[in-house]
Structure 1
Amino acid sequence: MTADIITDPVFYAVAVPAVLLMGVSKSGFGAGFGALATPLMAVALPVPQAAAIMLPLLAVMDAFGLAALWREADRSLLRLTLPAGLLGTALGTLSFGLLPTSTVAGIVGALTLLFLAQRQFFPPRAEAPPPPRWWGFGLGIAAGYTSFVAHAGGPPALAYLMPLKLRPLVFAGTTAVFFAAVNASKWIPYAWLGLIDLRNLTTSLLLMPLAPIGVWIGVRLARRVEPTLFYRLLSLGMLLTGVKLLWDGLRGWGA
């Protein structure tokens, strides 16, 4: 009979920083770093199991993030992106198992790096109009889909939100509400796909105290960091995420 909790020390060596990283990301501060959490845990576990363990932790993080940032969210942006994100989770449910996780990771990583390269070498003009709404809807679908597969919805969401140059707290509140709703929509599909079991839930419970700590750290940082540095850190998070996801994709294709 298997243990009711994961005991591998290698798993906890990567899971503890992964949970803290996701908590900081859920506050909106360093949002690009959150997509690294599941790939980090996947060093010791299959990606679907890592995603299943992370889901209850995300529920706790979302609750703390909403309590701190609900009033800061941009409602007009949510009316555009949230239906798209929920559509993305539905597509993730229907296509689960059709595409290898490594393929999805590689695609997200490549697109993230292309977005950053475009902003670096062809920066938007100060008077440039905001991205079109259809682009926001499309990236919302991508965010919901990649969030369902590996909790890696941050890069597509940032690709739309960063050019809008929102105030840090508005950015944080909008992403907090968006991903709280997307994560809540995953519970029934994850259970239906057999990803939620006693071993994963008890492991999540053991890691649970780290969830509010990460969010608390991120909220405090978001309230104290000036916008220029805030967006530089987001870009750094996206760069590291893109490189890691692309590497995971290439490694999976070569296996």
Structure 2
Amino acid sequence: MLHLTTEGWVLAVLASMAVGMAKGGLAMVAILAVPLLSLVMSPVQAAGLMLPVYVASDLGGLLAFRRSFDARVLATSLPGAMVGIGLGWATAHVVPDRGVTLIVGVIGLAFALNALMRRGGAGAPRPPSLLRGGFWGALAGYTSFVSHSGAPPYQVYVQPLRLPSLIYAGTTTWFFAVTNWVKLLPYWALGQLSPANLKAAALLTPVALASVWIGLRLVRIIPQALFYSLITWGLLAVSLRLVWQALAG
């Protein structure tokens, strides 16, 4: 069993709740999981511990959003995500985690600030694009592989599409479910799915699955304008945290 202090287990439970709520539709919450655990263990170990929790939680999220997703968005972003995961696997021992964390934070920060400063609301929705989806999907797949922090690049592509709240939440759930399943093989090959991590993940998974329901309830009652505002502000806060973490590390 993974040896954690009381503080470590509290953080692990909070991280699992964040993962579950994200699978229920509050996508940006999940990005807090690895940073929280990184306070008491290495980011690599934290990522290995949380991946099985992500995969198990995906099942609850997919059940909740089995009909609520945009196939065009997935078709234009998932091929790039597969390329990004492959690149992450190939460079796992070359690129420092701190550099990737900084890149993710800067991208998310720039996007959130641009959205907040834009005048006249969000503007007209963009249509899905294979070029934009491929680029941002690849970056999301890469950063998701390294630290489960693919949400900011993913949002740069998807948020301007202005999908309805439930479709946005469902599409996000499907996108990251597929990427998480694909990540299992390279994580296993790199030794990040240790028996200790798997045992701890088994204890944390029920917490995450119960939290899927919480996220699902919240996304159904939050108005769409407020929903996108919360996503933007959440992205800003998390991106600032990632930049600080990278520079202070």
TM range (shorter): over 0.9
Matched residue SS, 2:201: helix
**Runs of 5+ in structure 1 lacking a partner?**
none
Please list the CA deviations of residues 125-181 of structure 1 after superposition, one character each: whole Å capped at 9, or x if unmatched.
634644754122111001111111011011111111111111011001111111110
**How far apart, CA to CA, are the structure 1 residues paired with 2:3 and 2:42?**
13
1:87 to partner: Cα distance: 1.2
**How far apart, CA to CA, are the structure 1 residues paired with 2:171 and 2:156?**
14
Matched residue SS, 1:72: coil
Aligned partner (choices 206, 210, 234) of residue 209 of structure 1: 206
Q: Tell me if 1:61 matches 2:57.
A: yes
CA 1:16–1:73 in 2, change beyond 3 Å: closer, same or farther?
same
**How far apart, CA to CA, are the structure 2 residues paired with 1:163 and 1:136?**
12
Counterpart code for 1:144: G
Contact 1:6 1:203 in 2 (8 A): no
1:99 to partner: Cα distance: 1.3
Hey, what does 1:35 align to over in structure 2? 31
Q: Tell me if 1:6 matches 2:3.
A: yes
Counterpart code for 1:143: A
Contact 2:19 2:30 in 1 (8 A): yes
1:203 to partner: Cα distance: 0.9
Hey, what does 1:88 align to over in structure 2? 84
Hey, what does 1:47 align to over in structure 2? 43
Counterpart code for 2:34: T
TM-score (norm: length of structure 2): 0.95
Query: Matched residue pairs, number?
Result: 248
Aligned partner (choices 112, 137, 140) of residue 137 of structure 2: 140
**How far apart, CA to CA, are the structure 2 residues paired with 1:237 and 1:22?**
15
Counterpart code for 1:245: L
Counterpart code for 2:39: V
Hey, what does 2:98 align to over in structure 1? 102
Hey, what does 2:187 align to over in structure 1? 190
CA 1:121–1:185 in 2, change beyond 3 Å: closer, same or farther?
same
Matched residue SS, 1:126: coil
Hey, what does 1:73 align to over in structure 2? 69
- How big is the alpha-carbon RMSD for the aligned residues of Structure 1 and Structure 2? 1.5
Aligned ranges 1:243-254 → 2 under 5 Å: 243-252=240-249
TM-score (norm: length of structure 1): 0.93
Contact 2:127 2:161 in 1 (8 A): yes
% same residue: 37
Contact 1:62 1:176 in 2 (8 A): yes
Matched residue SS, 1:208: helix
